[in-house]
Amino acid sequence: MTYIDCHIHVSDKFFFKRIDNLLLDWNEYNIEFIGAVATNLKDSQRNLEIAAKYPSIIVAGIGRHPWGAHKFTMEELTIFKGLAKKPEVRFIGEIGLDRYHIKEKNRWPIQEQVLDYFITIANENKKSIMLHQTGAEEELYEILSTRNLEVNFCCHWYSGSDKILKKLIDLGGFFSINPNFLRSRKHRRVLDLVDQHNLLTESDGPVKFQGEQGSPILIPFLCQEIAKELMIQPNNLAIIIKENYQRYLKN
Ligand SMILES: [Zn+2]
């Protein structure tokens, strides 16, 4: 049985400085694919560096996280456009909107603008997108449904309303689950409402869950818990998640 961590910040210095050893450890836990998300240009370049060294395990993403969208520059946009053409770039993310952590309303239009740039880049290069939407689920839905998205999308750590979740499901979204679902009613609803063929698994490392370090070694346990919830065998779930991930990446 092998596992997928579709959303992890391996370019974060917490992991990056000892990535060679960590990948050996994670291999012991049968982690087959690591979806390396980026929060800025430096992360994006680091992801490509790691993927060049470990092409069979690292699935490299590039992007600008909504928390830093206000720092986005036109020079960056040009570099991102160039990077997105590379076949080594497998998806665009972590991109999106955040109105929960980012309270400054003057930054919200910039987030939308940056998201819009990345949607264009994703469409032009046929790369799937990995989305963050905390506190801005409805705004994200509005953009996705009107923007003619031509590629697959995954909402990571969804914790919005059921109403918007159902709309995002109707758009054909994938949804990645992390260990927070055990404690969050809203995140758990994703398991109740989303078809198992649209589910993915993630650690969002190095984010911590109730003091526990988020990292791919949590994924086998996470799969067990999800399988319990869905009342299926953990090994069947692992197979389904792997198929889902391959489908998500293909456009
Ligand atoms: Zn993340």
- Element at 51 (helix H, strand E): helix 41-53
Task: State the distance from the centre of ligand 1 to the C-alpha of 227, rounded, in angstroms.
Answer: 23
Task: State the distance from the centre of ligand 1 to the C-alpha of 131, rounded, in angstroms.
Answer: 9
pTM for the predicted model, two decimal places: 0.97
Q: How many angstroms from the chain centroid is the CA of residue 168?
A: 15
Structure confidence at residue 250 as a pLDDT band (50, 70, 90): very high
The pLDDT of residue 190 is 98
Task: State the distance from the centre of ligand 1 to the C-alpha of 206, rounded, in angstroms.
Answer: 9
* Token pair in block for residue 130: 């990995």
Q: Say what percent of the chain tops pLDDT 90.
A: 98
Task: State the distance from the centre of ligand 1 to the C-alpha of 3, rounded, in angstroms.
Answer: 18
The pLDDT of residue 174 is 98
Task: State the distance from the centre of ligand 1 to the C-alpha of 218, rounded, in angstroms.
Answer: 15
The pLDDT of residue 140 is 98
Query: Which of 182, 144, 184 has its CA nearest to residue 160?
Result: 184
The pLDDT of residue 60 is 98
The pLDDT of residue 210 is 87
Per-residue pLDDT of 192-225, as tens digits, reads 999 999 999 999 999 998 888 999 999 999 999 9
193 Cβ partners below 8 Å, 6+ apart?
162, 165, 166, 169
Task: State the distance from the centre of ligand 1 to the C-alpha of 156, rounded, in angstroms.
Answer: 8
Spatial separation of the C-alpha atoms in residues 93 and 54, rounded to whole Å: 19
Which amino acid makes up residue 180?
N
